[in-house]
Every structure is written in C-alpha cells, then in structure tokens.
C-alpha cells in the first residue's frame, strides 16, 4: 500500500512537470525536489522512497525524459521530522528553482 502511495505521488509530480510551460532551457534537466526520511526513526521507509524516486528517474530518462528533457530528483533528508520536511520543501523550491514534489 505504501508503494502505491509513493508511485502515485511520483506520477502526479511527473504529470505536473510535463504540463508546466517550458522556460527555454531545453538542454538542462528538470529538477524535482523531494524530502524523505533518510535518517531518524523512519529511515528504513525513507530509503525505499529514495530508491523509488531514483528508479523513476532512471526509467523516465532511459525513455527520453519529459518533453525531451531529462529529470533529476534532488532528495533532502528531513530526519523523520515533519516540520523539517515542510521547511526544507519551502526553502528549496524558492532558492534553487526546483519543482516541489
């Protein structure tokens, strides 16, 4: 059940990215920011989530990317803390031009 939730979330992010208008940066990858628990009490599940993101990235890029552009997941560790995840998502999307997921 947990895998279905995360793959649905990845699909939703990718559908948003494919819909978003292009900014003329055809050769640069589409960067998608995500937070997950890579440390702390939920780190076991977080590692599986990270592997799911990287698997999705590889599959999409092997098939030509999205609109001819490769995708790149930028994964942040939230330390199993919901407040840290919220702050990390907000600050990363504004600072580095990431599409939050």
pLDDT by residue (tens digit) across 84-97?
777 776 666 565 56
Q: How confident is the model at residue 100 (pLDDT cuts 50, 70, 90)?
A: low
Residues facing residue 66 across a β-bridge: 69
d(CA 25, CA 92): 20
Record the pTM: 0.63
Domain limits of the chain?
2-17+28-100
**How is domain 2-17+28-100 classified at the CATH fold level?**
Rossmann fold (3.40.50)
The sign of the torsion formed by the CA atoms of 66, 32, 48, 5 equals negative
Reduced to 3 states (helix: H, G, I; strand: E, B; else coil), residue 99 is: strand
Q: How confident is the model at residue 58 (pLDDT cuts 50, 70, 90)?
A: very high
- Check residues 82 and 100 and name the one with the higher pLDDT: 82
Q: What is the mean pLDDT of residues 7-23?
A: 55
């Amino acid at each position: 059940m947990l895998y279905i939730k995360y793959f649905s979330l990845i699909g939703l992010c990718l559908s948003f990215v494919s819909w978003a208008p292009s900014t003329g940066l055809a050769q640069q990858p589409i960067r998608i920011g995500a937070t997950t628990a890579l440390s702390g009490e939920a780190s076991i599940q977080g590692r599986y989530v990270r592997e799911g993101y990287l698997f999705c990235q590889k599959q999409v890029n092997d098939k030509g990317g999205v609109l001819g552009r490769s995708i790149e997941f930028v994964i942040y560790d939230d330390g199993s803390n919901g407040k840290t995840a919220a702050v990390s998502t907000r600050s990363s999307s504004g600072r580095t031009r990431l599409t939050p997921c």
